[in-house]
Structure 1
Amino acid sequence: MAESHFLFPENRPLRWGIIGCGSVAEKKSVPAYINTPCFEVRMVMRRNAGKAKDYAERHKIAQWTTNADEVIDHPEIDAIYIATPPDSHKFYALKVAAAGKPCCVEKPMAPNYADSLAIYEAFRAKGIPLFVAYYRRSLPRFLKVKEWLKEGLIGQVRHIHWQKTKPPSDIDLSGEYNWRTDSKVAPGGYFDDLASHGLDLFTFLLGDIQSVHGIALNQQGLYPAHDTVSGTWLHEGGVTGTGLWNFGNYFREDKVDILGSKGKISFAVLDETPLVLENESGLQLMEIPHPDHVQQFHVENIREHLLGRTMHPSTGKTGLHTSWVMDRILGNN
C-alpha cells in the first residue's frame, strides 16, 4: 500500500486534531471520528474562539484553539482532518505533510488540479497516508450499485448520465456571502461542492476517466462563480458519460442512470432515494439508508487502512484524479 507508510500507535487510540469545525464537522464527519474504536479526537481549531470553545464543549473534546499550527505541531496529535473551505486546503495540508502526520482533507481536494497535485506530491514524497473525504465510496448503498455492476445485472455498461438541478436558494437571491459561490474559493460554485461527489463516485464505479470536456457558464449573474455546467467524458473501459449541473433551474432533481446492454440502474448521488434496478427480470427497488453520521464507514476505513488491513477507497491519488476531471469540465486546462 504505497500511501500507507505509517505505524498505528500501540496500546492507545490514534489522536486526531481537527482544523475547521463548521457545519460539515457538526454531524457528518467529526462524530464519526469520535465514535470509531481506536480513534480519539483530542483537539479542534476554528478561527472564532467562541465557536471553537462551544464546539469542543458540546462534543466533549479536551482542547480547542484558534491557531491551526497548534493542532498540526502538537506532540500529542497523531493525525489531522482538514474540514475548512477548499481554498485553504493546500495551505493547511502542506503544513501537515511537513509535520509528517496522516491527513484526511475534505472534498473537493482543492479548488483546482494544480493545488491538488501539490498536496498529493507533498504526502507521496514522504510516504504519509493521505485521504480525501469522498465518503460515498464507503457507503453501503453505492457499494450495492458496484456489486450489481460487477455481477453483470445490466449486461455490458454503455453510458452513465447524471442530472443535478435546483432553483437558486434564498441566500443566492439575497446576495448574502456564501463561500460555495465565491469564485476565489470554489470557481465552479455549487458544482465544486456537489458535482465532485458524483464524478468521484463514477470513477469508483466505472474506472478512471481518460477524456473529458465541458462547458461552464454563469447564466443568472447572482454570484461570481459558475452556476451551470455540462460535461461529457469517456471512462477507460469504454463507457461514455454525460452530466448536467444547473443551479438556476425551476425544479430540483438528482438522478443518475447507468445504461447497459441488458438493463438500467438508477439512483441519486446526493438525495437518499431508493436504488432502482431494471432488467429482463423486472423492476427492483432497494432502500439502503445512510448511517446517522454519513462519514462513519469512510472513517472506519481510514482506521483499517492505517492498521494495514485494507486499502482505503478514497486516497490522495483518487482525489487528485477527480480534481483533474473537474478542472477539465470547467475548462481549466
Structure 2
Amino acid sequence: MIKWGMIGCGDVTEVKSGPAFNKVTGSSLVAVMSRSPEKAADYAKRHRVPKWYSNAQELIDDPEVNAVYIATPPLSHESLTIAALKAGKSVYVEKPMSVSAEAGQRMLEAAVQSEGSLTVAHYRREQPIFKKIKSLIETKAIGEVKFVTLDYLQPALTAKELADPKIQWRVDPSIAGGGLFHDIAPHQLDLMIYFFGPVEKATGVSGNQDGLYEADDMVTGVLKFKNNVFFNGTWCFGMPEGQSLDRCVITGSKGSLSFAVFGQPQIELVVNGEKEVFGFEPLQHVQQPMIEATVRYFLKEGANPCKVEEGLEVMKIIEEFSS
C-alpha cells in the first residue's frame, strides 16, 4: 500500500489531484502539510485525511508515510524532493519539476543515489485523449509525421488578476522560474517528448512585450527531434481581451491531427480530405490516471510514467526557449 503525505494544500490539490489518492487501488492519503496550520487542519477535515502538519520535514519523517506528493510552488520542489528522497520516500513532484535545469539535475542525482523513486507529474501522458493521439501516431494514421505547430495565446492579465496572490507567484520568476510560460508549457512540451522521443536540437527567443510583470510574456521556440520531426511553438500572454487560442496540429505525410492541450478533450483526424472526430469525457480528477500509473510504479508493478530524465529534458527546452 502506498501511503501518501501531501506537501501543499493549494487549489491544484482540491479537485485535480488530492481526492484521487484515495480513489486509486493500493493508495491512500494519510497526511497533508501546509505552512498555515489553519489551512492544513481545514484541508484534512474537509478531505477526511487522518493527520496534518505545518512543517514539511515532520511529514517527511512520519513513519507511516512512504510516498510524498509535492504540490508547492516550483521554488521549493528541489529542496523538498531531495529531503524526501534522502528519507527513503518515493516522490511525485508537480510540474515544472524545478525552477531551472540546474536544480532538476540535482534532483536527478538525488534520485539515483536514493532508495526512493521519483516521478514528475506530467499527468496528461496518462489521459485517454493523449494516449489515443500517441496510438494514432504510432499506427501511422496520418502517415509519417513531418512537423507540429502549437499556438497558445491568452489575453493579458488584468489588474485584478495581478493582485490575486494565487496568480502573483506564477508571474514571479524567483518563485515560478519564469512566469506563465513556465506554468503552461511543461505540459505541452512533455507531450511532444511523449509522442516523439528525444530532442536533437532546441532554440527559441522570448521577451516581455507588455511590461505587466517581471517574467517574459512572449515566447517562441523550435525543436528538431532525433526522429526528424520538427516542432514550432508560440506562447503569447498579451493578447487583446476576448482573443485566445489553444491549438496543436500534427501534420503527417497523409493527413493531420488537431487538438487542444487544455481545452475540450477532442481530436480531429483529417486524412485525404475526410474528417473524423474522437471525443472524450472530461475527467473528474485530471491527475487520477497518472496517480494510478505512479502507484503501480512505486509498488514495482509497472514502469515509471514520467522519468526524472524526461522532466529534466523539459526544463532544458524551457531554458533554451526563454533564454
2:211 aligned residue: 221
2:191 matched to 1:201?
yes
| Equivalent residue for 2:48, pick from 55, 60, 69 | 60
Distance apart, 1:176 and its partner CA: 4.6
2:237 aligned residue: 247
Deviation readout 1:294-325 (Å, 9 max, x if unpaired): 00100000121123222132121211111111
Letter in 1 for 2:217: D
2:129 aligned residue: 141
Distance apart, 1:171 and its partner CA: 5.0
Letter in 2 for 1:90: E
Aligned partners of 1:171, 1:284: CA distance in 2, in Å?
Answer: 42
Distance apart, 1:69 and its partner CA: 0.7
SS at match of 2:239: coil
Aligned partners of 1:213, 1:289: CA distance in 2, in Å?
Answer: 36
1:80 aligned residue: 68
Aligned partners of 2:98, 2:282: CA distance in 1, in Å?
Answer: 26
2:179 aligned residue: 189
Q: Is the 8 A contact 2:85 2:115 kept in 1?
A: no
Letter in 2 for 1:315: K
For 1:1-333, list aligned pairs within 5 A.
Answer: 13-171=1-159, 174-177=162-165, 178-250=168-240, 251-280=243-272, 282-331=274-323
1:6 aligned residue: none
Aligned partners of 1:312, 1:123: CA distance in 2, in Å?
Answer: 13
Sort the Cα spacing of 1:69 and 1:141 in 2 relative to 1 into closer, same or farther, 3 A: same
Q: TM-score, normalised by structure 1?
A: 0.93
Letter in 2 for 1:38: G
Q: Is the 8 A contact 2:196 2:227 kept in 1?
A: yes
SS at match of 1:247: strand
Aligned partners of 2:193, 2:73: CA distance in 1, in Å?
Answer: 24
Aligned partners of 1:127, 1:206: CA distance in 2, in Å?
Answer: 30
Q: Is the 8 A contact 1:139 1:290 kept in 2?
A: no
Q: Is the 8 A contact 1:46 1:65 kept in 2?
A: yes
Q: Which runs of 5+ in 2 are unaligned?
A: none
Q: Is the 8 A contact 2:2 2:298 kept in 1?
A: no
Distance apart, 1:187 and its partner CA: 3.4
Aligned partners of 2:274, 2:233: CA distance in 1, in Å?
Answer: 27
Q: TM-score, normalised by structure 2?
A: 0.96
**Superposed structure 1 runs of 4+ greater than 6 Å apart:** none
1:8 aligned residue: none
Deviation readout 1:255-285 (Å, 9 max, x if unpaired): 0000111100000111124210000271011
Aligned partners of 2:37, 2:61: CA distance in 1, in Å?
Answer: 19
Letter in 2 for 1:105: V
Letter in 2 for 1:193: D
Q: Which runs of 5+ in 1 are unaligned?
A: 1-12
Q: Is the 8 A contact 1:172 1:222 kept in 2?
A: no
Aligned partners of 2:148, 2:83: CA distance in 1, in Å?
Answer: 38
Letter in 2 for 1:118: R
SS at match of 2:261: coil
RMSD of the TM alignment (CA)?
Answer: 1.3
Q: Is the 8 A contact 2:294 2:305 kept in 1?
A: no
Deviation readout 1:185-212 (Å, 9 max, x if unpaired): 1232111111110000111011121210
Letter in 2 for 1:63: K
SS at match of 1:64: strand
Aligned partners of 1:172, 1:159: CA distance in 2, in Å?
Answer: 39
Letter in 1 for 2:264: E
SS at match of 1:324: helix
Distance apart, 1:22 and its partner CA: 0.3
Distance apart, 1:175 and its partner CA: 4.6
